[in-house]
Amino acid sequence: MRILIIEDNADLAANIGEFLEGRGEIVDYAGDGISGLHLAVINSYDAIVLDLSLPGLDGLELCRRLRAEESRYVPILMLTSRDTERDKLLGFDMGADDYLTKPFSLPELLARLRAMARRAHAPQSLLQVADLELNLRTLIARRGERRLELSPIGRRMLEKLMRASPAVVSRADMVNAIWGDDPPDSDAALRTHIHALRAAVDQNNPVKLLHTMHGIGYRLAVDDAI
């Protein structure tokens, strides 16, 4: 998952971030509301951790503005300092999906983030394209009866491609989905991973699913599909 942390307490943000990164998530940070909103609009996150009290633009206002955007829906988990704040929040209900009162345990934070993200994708928690399927809960991918061995990056690429299918995923979108703001220097890395993914998906199968759109990107679909 790609997660945005909006939190002005640098120590807390670092704590959360290190923990999440240790569990294989990709984390971006924002120290204030303005830059947080900006990042949230620019990029596409699977979930946002948002502190209620922020300098500049507070959590409630940020939430409201983000929901006002007609763009993609992003699950938001709000952090509050005291129970009283939280109760007040529930009355207001500015559009957060879940709440957590400090102090909290990091494993619980992660669990809630995953639950939110899973619900957000609920109808598609089993992605299917032709005889290829990816279970987002177990993270197991299959092509027919054969189970595919994928690296974490390979899985994310596959997920991105399957969600977009049968549309094309541009190289830029793919790079952004995998590495976010910090892509590797050359684009050779993407080529290498595509190569590995293609080997996993299409090897030993006459029906090819992963197609290259020269100069544009990649596309996952049965060849003659629309």
The contact set with a second copy (CB under 8 A) reads 19, 22, 67, 70, 72-73, 75-76, 86-87, 90, 93, 95-101, 104-108, 110-112, 114-116, 118-120, 122-123, 126, 135, 137-140, 147, 151-152, 166-168, 213-216, 219, 221, 224-226
What are the phi and psi torsion angles at 16 (to 5°)?
-60, -45
Min dist CB 188 to DNA, Å, is: 3
What are the phi and psi torsion angles at 132 (to 5°)?
-100, 135
Binding mask 145-184 for DNA (x = CB under 7 A): ----x-xxxx----------------x-------x----x
Residues between 184 and 203 with contacts to DNA, criterion CB under 7 A: 184-189, 191-195, 198-199
SS3 213: strand
- Which residues does 143 contact at the CB level (< 8 Å), separation at least 6? 131, 132, 201, 205
Classify the C-alpha dihedral 118-50-184-24 as positive or negative. negative
**Helices and strands of the chain, counted as H and E runs:** 8, 12
Rule CB under 7 A: which residues touch DNA? 22, 149, 151-154, 171, 179, 184-189, 191-195, 198-199, 212-217
